Structure 1
Amino acid sequence: MEKSKLQLFAEAIQGKKIVYLYRVKEDAATANAEGIAFTTENGRTKSKDADSTATKDGSIRTPGVAEVEITATSILSKGDTMIDKLESALDGDKVIEIWEVNLEEEGTSDNADKYKAKYFQGYLTEMEITSNAEDFVEVSLTFGINGNGVDGYATVSEEQQEIASYVFADTQKTGA
């Protein structure tokens, strides 16, 4: 049975269900990947230049190498250490690992407790911190990616999922 356009829209993925997690690669043995607090927007762009060669029969296009960029924009959170880690990685030319995780697509039985993801490595190539008198401080990041990324499944903890939504909390005291 064919689905109507309205049914297809009902299955559309909300932007907040695609989360990005980051880690400085040299910290892989000691730290989990983290999200950036108060992210307002993420993006991934894949582009490829092509050269044209004129021939008697018309032009021939020769595709170049694909380039991938990932962007993130967030409101700066007081005490956010991830922004500091990323800025240090920018200053030190350190490789950053990035996971683009789709929380709407859970793994199969082979990948239980995991979500469909794309894994990247690259460098933070641009960081802009904007602060004006009327709004919150905004941080914009651009990552230049090595290669094209790899598909797989990523483990996402409850804490990491809080990036996308609230996690249920019980009514009992938490033992602060």
Structure 2
Amino acid sequence: MSEEKQMQHGKNKILLFRKLEDQNKEAAKLAFQTEHTFTYSRELEALVTKDGRVIQVGGLEAEVEVNAIQAKDDPLGKMLQEAVIKGEKLELWEVTVDEDLKDSEGKYPAVYAQGYLSEWEDPANAEENVTISSTFTVELEPQFGRATLTAEQEQAVQYAFKDTTTVTDSE
């Protein structure tokens, strides 16, 4: 008997960022993420030979399009904008925060990449929330593995159910 497949929800995939030079600090989640798209692509060139068509495969290119509603006084949003302006190298994690996929060590499936933000758009429409959009261009190849979220990072994703009893430090 086959196991029933379950759908994966986009809301469970979050992005965390950190300046590469700040590896002594925890990565942070961009507040109010609305959407992101991780894109992998290769140039394929068709060459016609006397024996038929062959494909020449180019190098991998990866990028992440990011959209979020701008939070007031968000230090990560300011850091990302500054990283574009100054051309600073960043680290990015796409973490799938799904309890069903969490392993016995408490780690979640993740993609890790280093690269640069190539743009930062900050439009201000009179009738809508201020939204930001940016493109993270990956250097080399993204790496697949598992990532640990701190209690604060998990809480930033979605608060967990709390009982009506007194909360202690161990919870």
The partner residue of 1:88 within 57, 82, 85 is 82
Q: CA deviation at 1:100?
A: 0.9
The alignment of Structure 1 onto Structure 2 pairs a total of residues equal to 165
Among 8, 22, 38, the residue aligned to 1:13: 8
What is the aligned-residue RMSD (CA, Å)? 1.8
The counterpart of 2:155, out of the listed 123, 147, 162, is 162
Deviation at 1:93, TM superposition (A): 1.5
**Distance (Å, rounded) in 2 between the aligned partners of 1:41 and 1:163:** 16
Partner of 2:36: 42
| Counterpart residue number, 2:125 | 132
**Cα distance in structure 1, aligned partners of 2:167 and 2:155:** 20
Runs of 4+ in 1 over 4 A off after TM superposition: 169-174
Residue 71 of structure 1: aligned partner: 65
Q: Which residue of 2 aligns with 1:107?
A: 103
Unaligned runs of 5+ in 2: none
AA aligned opposite 1:137: V
Match for residue 22 of structure 1?
Answer: 17
Q: Is the 8 A contact 1:16 1:164 kept in 2?
A: no
- 1-side partners of 2:141 and 2:87: how far apart? 20
1-structure distance, mates of 2:59, 2:147: 27
Q: Which runs of 5+ in 1 are unaligned?
A: none
Q: Please give the secondary structure, in 2, of the residue aligned with 1:89.
A: helix
TM-score (norm 1): 0.86
Distance 1:55 1:173 in 2: 72
Give the percent of matched residue pairs that are identical in Structure 1 and Structure 2: 35
Name the TM-score, length of structure 2 as normaliser. Answer: 0.89
Structure 1 residues 96 and 154: alpha-carbon distance in aligned structure 2, compared to 1, 3 A threshold: same
